[in-house]
Structure 1
Amino acid sequence: MTHLLDVRDLVVHYGTVTAVDGVSLTLEPGETLALDGPSGCGKSTTALAVLQLRRPDAGEVRFEGVELTSLTERELRPLRPRMQPVFQDPYGSLNPRHRIRDAVAEPLKVQGRWTEADGPTRVAELLDRVGLAPSYGARRPHELSGGQCQRAGIARALASDPRLLVLDEPVSALDPSVRAGVLNLLADLQDDLGLGYLFICHDRAVVRHFADRVVEMRDGRLVT
């Protein structure tokens, strides 16, 4: 059986420091796998290596059966839209100078799927899908709340029609009052689209509520 994501013996070094040491995990379509552990244990580095934003020093990362670590950047390019990140800082992940509609439209333009006839409608549909009125597209990130900005970041990720979202602490920077709304949105999107989620989190209450499976990291290694 081909997993959506299959990571084997992943190793990442930063100089003489081993940030990720032999991590192996699998993820299926429609499943949420949580990577739990304290700050500095290697969770985010694992996420970057899965996305090939930080090339690992050893190990394999198979996405939909394709081994990624041996591919060149040019060979990776067609695959990148299908695996998208959602980062911790909702403001830092969007260009402060760009209006929200332009941020959401950017993946469509980069991937050659934008047309003046259909593009604006697609952007409005994506904003609506994450619970933002299309009028929010005219605003810039600083004009949105943290929760609204994170929803815009999710819309931007969805523009690429991904199969995998790597969610790196997606609600830890949000007020407790809005976390549930964003988590419920992610759950609804998963049900509707069959997305797989690699969910990086250190809040065990959130992990227990949201994840199908949990693996724990300590000092770069999986301990469960």
Structure 2
Amino acid sequence: MTGTSTRPLLDVRDLVVRYGALTAVDHVSFALEPGETLALDGPSGCGKSSTALAVLQLRRPDAGEVHFEGRELTTLTDRELRPLRPRMQPVFQDPYGSLSPRHRIRDAVAEPLKAQGRWSTADGPAKVAELLDRVGLDPSYGERRPDELSGGQCQRVGIARALASDPRLLVLDEPVSALDPSVRAGVLNLLADLQDDLGLGYLFICHDRDVVRHFADRVVELREGRVSGSWRPRRSAAAPR
């Protein structure tokens, strides 16, 4: 689904990320419209995840610009970034690794609400239950811990936690690569439905060409840290959307 705004939701210009003498991201540029899924595709080590971290400002780039909702992020201090961070949320590859094994699911989903000062004992539990229901989990799962859930269920919890911040952009870093094929389709369908309902933009990091072809609106190919091409997939009838 592609938005109609004249301004990109995300506009990345000449992004550079270096680790010592290694240039992991070499002048990468792309733009993502509101409500669009833009995939970064390419082999392992091509710079996809480094690009995602730089977009989120979890790893400050060495050069280039990242414009989100019209604001240039690379010049902002951490304090200035703080009110913008809820609007751009990550969903990581490892569904178990992103959740504390000591915390119940309800606490994991509530954590962003509490961190942002949006939690109250009056309506907080109902909000958590609503978020779990939104990602296809019975609210009773809030009483469980991550090791009592499957990988697909944990990834749904990760998505619920991201949604708690009312984001406009989700940065999905290989969100289904660790899941079984049947579970993978269900999570992709959930993401597609959420995008249709909420108008979210997705920066979708993936190396599986079939998944990219079925899920993305546009694809930017990365090779050795550089953009090697871009294309629009033709979604097949068997697409998980």
Q: For this structure pair, what is the TM-score category when the shorter chain's length is used for normalisation? A: over 0.9
Runs of 5+ in structure 2 lacking a partner?
1-5, 230-241
Secondary structure of the corresponding residue to residue 49 of structure 1: helix
Cα deviation for residue 204 of structure 1 reads 0.2
Specify the alignment match of 1:30 in structure 2.
Answer: 35
* RMSD (CA atoms): 0.4
Q: Is residue 213 of structure 2 the alignment partner of residue 213 of structure 1?
A: no
Q: Is residue 76 of structure 2 the alignment partner of residue 71 of structure 1?
A: yes
Aligned to 1:85, which of 69, 82, 90? 90
Q: Is residue 142 of structure 2 the alignment partner of residue 137 of structure 1?
A: yes
Q: 4+ residue stretches of structure 1 with deviation over 3 A?
A: none
Cα deviation for residue 178 of structure 1 reads 0.3
Secondary structure of the corresponding residue to residue 124 of structure 1: helix
Specify the alignment match of 2:57 in structure 1.
Answer: 52
Q: Is residue 110 of structure 2 the alignment partner of residue 105 of structure 1?
A: yes
Specify the alignment match of 2:202 in structure 1.
Answer: 197
Q: Is residue 35 of structure 2 the alignment partner of residue 62 of structure 1?
A: no
Specify the alignment match of 2:164 in structure 1.
Answer: 159
Aligned to 1:40, which of 41, 45, 53? 45
Q: Is residue 12 of structure 2 the alignment partner of residue 7 of structure 1?
A: yes
Cα deviation for residue 75 of structure 1 reads 0.3
**Structure 1 length as normaliser, TM-score?**
0.99
Secondary structure of the corresponding residue to residue 75 of structure 2: coil
Distance in 1 of aligned mates of 2:182 and 2:192? 17
Secondary structure of the corresponding residue to residue 61 of structure 2: coil
Distance in 2 of aligned mates of 1:124 and 1:95? 19
Secondary structure of the corresponding residue to residue 8 of structure 1: strand
Runs of 5+ in structure 1 lacking a partner?
none
Distance in 2 of aligned mates of 1:184 and 1:158? 16
For CA contacts below 8 A with separation 6 or more, give which structure has more relative contact order: 1
Partner AA of 1:27 in structure 2: L
Distance in 1 of aligned mates of 2:115 and 2:38? 29
Specify the alignment match of 2:124 in structure 1.
Answer: 119
* Percent sequence identity over aligned pairs: 87
Deviations 1:130-162 (A, max 9, x none): 000000000111110000000000000000000
Distance in 2 of aligned mates of 1:97 and 1:63? 34
Cα deviation for residue 5 of structure 1 reads 0.1
**Structure 2 length as normaliser, TM-score?**
0.92
Cα deviation for residue 93 of structure 1 reads 0.6
- Number of residue pairs matched? 224
Distance in 2 of aligned mates of 1:71 and 1:152? 30
Partner AA of 2:203 in structure 1: L
Secondary structure of the corresponding residue to residue 25 of structure 2: strand
Cα deviation for residue 177 of structure 1 reads 1.4
Partner AA of 2:148 in structure 1: E
Secondary structure of the corresponding residue to residue 197 of structure 1: strand
Cα deviation for residue 2 of structure 1 reads 1.8
